[in-house]
Amino acid sequence: MAGSNRFLSLLYRKLSSLRTSVYVLGVLCIFYVIGTIFPQGGDINEYEKAGGRFLEAVRLFNLLDVFNTPWFLVPAFVLFLNVSVCTYDRFLRIRARRGAAPAAYSPDCTVHLALTRAEAEEEVSRILTRKMRFKVLRTGTDWTVMEKGLSYRWLTWLYHAGIAISFVGFFISGLFVREGIITLRPGEEVEIVSTMPENRGWLVPSDHSPPGFKLVLDEFITEYTESPRLDYPKDKRSRVAIALGWKDLSYRLDEDSFFPKDWFSRLRVVRDGSTLYEKKIEVNDPLRFEGYTFYQLAYEQRLKLRVGERLVEAEAGKKVDIPSIGTLRFGPLRTGTLFRLDGTTDKITPFVTVKRLSGGKTEELGRLVLNGHIRVGKSKLSLVDFEESSVLSYRYDPGVPILWVAGSIVFAVMTLRCFGRWYELAYRVEERDGTTSLLISIRSKGLGADPARVIRRLSHHLPGVRS
């Protein structure tokens, strides 16, 4: 029994030690560095194909998912215990300190008064409590201790408590988080099932059911802005003239100089055929519903082409082999609204640029407009129709509200600690050789604190101050 108590006492001392925090944080920093070197969430086979180094170590220690490995989670849990025990230990110390007898103070300032000792004690107490808003912490001995402002000790405890709460949020996220990617085609009701391997928390089963609602993409909207291109001269003399400032840079604005400005998805949340919620989302403005958050990630464009009497489908930005024509690559489909530099707007007639790839060379075939055509050899290539799909990333994370609360606590506490004002003032009244003296010892924390100003105010309000 005694051995068990000694072990628990040793464990408590280690977990409440700042040195333990430093050591564990050092270990975690090593994992953070590893996480920046190796692509987290990557596939080991793709990593091998890309010529990744230290392949055996990456496989053995699962370095492509290092933040879900035991070697990271164990020190993270130790840090959580360390912060929790430190918070509890500091709380006990603060409570014990408030009731303890005052320590020995050395005066920072002495004020001589033309008052008796009893009058001085009454006046000092009245001025500090009523006019300067100090609160009494400890009395009954030679020194009376008062405090003003948010207690620095309690702020420090709240900071530790906020860190501990954030760890709770991290663990809840690790247990229950779900995130993935879904692709919405116009008008289709889509269940929240990832089109890629879903990232799940440790307690989420692989066969978990999707939520009881679906998403519908009513419209995908693209906005473009004109983007002038630098018309950089090819001859050396003109370049030197520009470098020396003798000639200004010039820009040209081609009809293809469109730069994507923003993408929007007009979404509906439906359940059993009824619309529950609608929102037009864009990058950094997601849709949130029943704990899920949907972000605008990307989009896909599918082209419907006609070659002679045959219909061919292709994806914008990718290659497609078409008999009698060869290998073609279609650029991004331009459609939507164009915001011109002069402040006007135009509706873009949908078009796509076409290139032919042959023998390592690229041949520009021109612009293919909706319901228009271009000639490629003896074949006529027409753009019949197109379809734009919205690609969304989603995340369900019940730990986020806890992290918001914890982060707000930590931010508020750090702000108050840095810019607030806290004073601990101890005073004692002495009477020697017919002279009454007020001895003041003052401590302060925070950039807004000014101990000299407190002493000046106290001296100003005290009657009978002798110079």
Q: Are residues 369 and 263 in the same domain?
A: yes
Q: Which of 62-71, 359-368, 397-406 has the highest mean pLDDT?
A: 397-406
Over pLDDT 90: what percentage of the chain?
23
Q: How far apart are CA 262 and CA 282, in angstroms?
A: 7
CB 354 within 8 A of CB 374: yes
Q: Are residues 193 and 311 in the same domain?
A: yes
Which tens digit of pLDDT belongs to each residue from 17-58? Answer: 878 888 888 888 888 888 888 877 667 777 777 777 778 888
Neighbours of 23 (CB within 10 A): 16
C-alpha distances in angstroms, 273 versus 47, 290, 337? 44, 18, 32
Q: Are residues 280 and 382 in the same domain?
A: yes
Which tens digit of pLDDT belongs to each residue from 300-334? Answer: 999 999 988 888 899 988 888 888 788 889 988 88
Residue 100, pLDDT score: 47
In 16-116, alpha helices (H): 18-37, 44-49, 55-61, 70-99
Q: Are residues 191 and 310 in the same domain?
A: yes
**Structure-token pair, residue 201:** 């928390």
Considering its fold, how many domains does the chain have in total?
A: 3
Residue predicted with more confidence, 378 or 429: 429
Q: Are residues 88 and 107 in the same domain?
A: no
Question: How does residue 388 score in pLDDT terms, banded at 50, 70 and 90?
Answer: very high
Q: Is residue 79 part of a domain?
A: yes
Residue 214, pLDDT score: 94
Where would I find the beta strands (DSSP E) of 122-252? 135-138, 144-149, 178-184, 189-191, 199-200, 214-226, 229-230, 251-252
Q: Are residues 321 and 192 in the same domain?
A: yes
Residue predicted with more confidence, 3 or 195: 195
If you average pLDDT over residues 90-109, what whole number do you get? Answer: 68
Over pLDDT 70: what percentage of the chain?
93
Q: Is residue 438 part of a domain?
A: yes
Q: Which DSSP letter does residue 104 get? A: P
In 177-260, alpha helices (H): 236-243
Q: Are residues 70 and 193 in the same domain?
A: no
Q: Are residues 317 and 275 in the same domain?
A: yes
Length of the chain, in residues: 467
Domain hosting 461: range is 101-150+420-466
The rounded mean pLDDT for the chain is 84
Q: How far apart are CA 121 and CA 43, in angstroms?
A: 76
**Per-residue three-class SS string for 223-239:** EEEECCEECCCCCHHHH
Q: Is residue 458 part of a domain?
A: yes
Would you say the pTM of this structure is higher than 0.85?
no
Q: Are residues 196 and 310 in the same domain?
A: yes
- The DSSP result for 347-412, as a single string, is EEEEEEEEEEEETTEEEEEEEEEBT-EEEETTEEEEEEEEEEEEEEEEEE-TTHHHHHHHHHHHHH
Q: Is residue 250 part of a domain?
A: no
Question: How does residue 155 score in pLDDT terms, banded at 50, 70 and 90?
Answer: confident
Q: Are residues 119 and 195 in the same domain?
A: no
Q: Are residues 312 and 337 in the same domain?
A: yes
Residue 385, pLDDT score: 92
Q: How far apart are CA 269 and CA 291, in angstroms?
A: 13
Q: Are residues 194 and 306 in the same domain?
A: yes
Q: Which residues contact 303 (CB under 8 A, 6 or more apart)?
A: 313, 314, 315, 316, 330, 333, 352, 383, 385, 386
